[in-house]
Amino acid sequence: MDGTIPDAASRMTHHPRRLWACASGLLLIFLPAAADLLAGAPQIGASQTAPPQSANPNPDSLGGAIDTAHRTASSEILNTAEWIDAFFRTETFQAEENRSRIKITSSGFAEEGEGIEPRVRVNVRLNLPGTERRTGLLIGYASDPQETQGVPGENRLQPLEDLDADRLTATIEHFLMQEIRQNLKLQAGLHWAHGSPQGRLGPRYRFSRDLADRWGMRFEQYFAWFTDEGWLARTRLDLERPLGDALFLRFTPGLTWSQDQEGLSYRLQASVIQPISARRALLWEGNTHYSSETSGQLDEANLRVRYRQRIWRDWLTLEVSPQLAWYEDRDFDTVLGIYVGIEGIFGWLK
C-alpha cells in the first residue's frame, strides 16, 4: 500500500471481511425500507413508451384479440428489457447507444486477499455531423475483449478482469441497421499495446424476437480482427421474461472463441431484476465461468447483489455491489468482494 494512503485505509485493506461488512452495511442503508418492499414495487418499464404499432385491429374479432394480446406482451418485454439495459447500462445498451455523451466513472473494487483496486475512467462518444446519428467517434478506456466476456455487470465488476490491461482506444463505428428487432454496426479502431499502436475491425449484430408465454429472446454476435491478437468471436444469448409486475428474469449464456487462446471460454449468468422506483433498482445475479481448455472445468462462480440508484440528479448514479466468489485457483474457498462506483453522464441521456 502506498505510504500516502492513511493508515486507517491501509488497515482496512488488510481486513477485507471488515471492509465487506462495512460496505454491505452501506448497501443496507441505501436499500428501501421494508415497508416499501411489502407495499409492492412499481411495474417495471411502466414509464417507457411502447414501440410504434400498426393500425389497431378489430378487438371484437378473435384474430384482433390475439394480435392485441401479442403486441401488449411484446411491448411489455421490450420496454422492460430496454429499461433494465438503460438503467444498469448493460453491454447491450452501451453497444447500441447512439447519442453524444461524456461518461466519467470513479470506482473501487476490493476483494479478500487483494486489497482495493481504485480507478477513474473517462469515455467520450461524439456523433459525427451529417450522419443522422449513424456514425460516431468513441474515445476512452476499454478492457481486453478476451477478458470482458463473462464480466457480469458488463466489464466493470468481474474480479477476473485484469484492470491493468485496460487500454486507451479510439474507435469509429457506423450503424448499418438500427431497428427495434435488429441492430448491425461496423467498428474500426486503434489502441496502444505492446509498445505500438494496434488496430481492430469487425461487425456486431443483434436480433430480438418474441417467444411463447411472455418470453423474449435476444441473440448477439460480435466478430473482430486485431492486428496484435488475431480474430475473436463472441456469442451471447438473452432469454428473459417478466415475473409478475415487479420482477424480471434473465438467463444469459455466452461463448468466446479467439485465435490466441486455446479452447473456448463460456459462461452462464442468471439474473433477477427488482426495480424499486424510477431511480432505484436491485439486480440479483449468479455467474459461472468455464473453459474447454480444462475439459469444461469450472473456473469461477460468484453471487452478487447490485444496488443502483440515481442520486441528486438524473445524470449521477451510485452503485454498491457486494459479492461472494469461488475460484478454481483458490481451491474454491469463499472470497468476499465489494464494488462501489459513482458514474456521471454528461450530454444526452436515454
CB 218 within 8 A of CB 92: yes
Per-residue pLDDT at 56? 44
Per-residue pLDDT at 74? 52
| Helix (H), strand (E) at residue 77 | helix 62-88
Cα distance between residue 194 and residue 181, in whole Å? 39
**Of 320, 308, 142, nearest in space to 226 by CA:** 142
Give me the numbers of helices (H) and strands (E) for the chain, helices first please: 6, 14
Which tens digit of pLDDT belongs to each residue from 332-342? 999 999 999 99
State the average pLDDT for the chain: 76
Q: Which of 29-33, 66-70, 280-284 has the highest mean pLDDT?
A: 280-284
Mean pLDDT of 316-328: 95
For the chain, the domains span 11-43+55-347
Band (pLDDT 50/70/90 cuts) for residue 196 is confident
Cα distance between residue 250 and residue 24, in whole Å? 25
Q: Does domain 11-43+55-347 have CATH number 2.40.160.40?
A: yes
Q: Which three cell numbers stand for residue 28?
A: 443496507
Per-residue pLDDT at 92? 86
Angstrom CA distances, 212 to 43, 71, 73, 259, 318, stand at 21, 12, 10, 38, 36
Q: Which of 9-23, 65-79, 226-240 has the highest mean pLDDT?
A: 226-240
pLDDT at 108 over 70: yes
Cα distance between residue 333 and residue 325, in whole Å? 8
Which tens digit of pLDDT belongs to each residue from 35-74? 343 334 444 443 433 333 333 444 444 444 444 444 444 5
Q: Which three cell numbers stand for residue 130?
A: 451529417
Band (pLDDT 50/70/90 cuts) for residue 324 is very high
Cα distance between residue 278 and residue 242, in whole Å? 17
User: Between 296 and 75, whose confidence is greater?
Assistant: 296
Band (pLDDT 50/70/90 cuts) for residue 141 is confident
Angstrom CA distances, 298 to 234, 287, 327, stand at 19, 11, 8
DSSP E strands: which ranges in 244-315?
247-258, 265-275, 280-291, 297-310
Per-residue pLDDT at 262? 82
What DSSP designation does 328 have? G
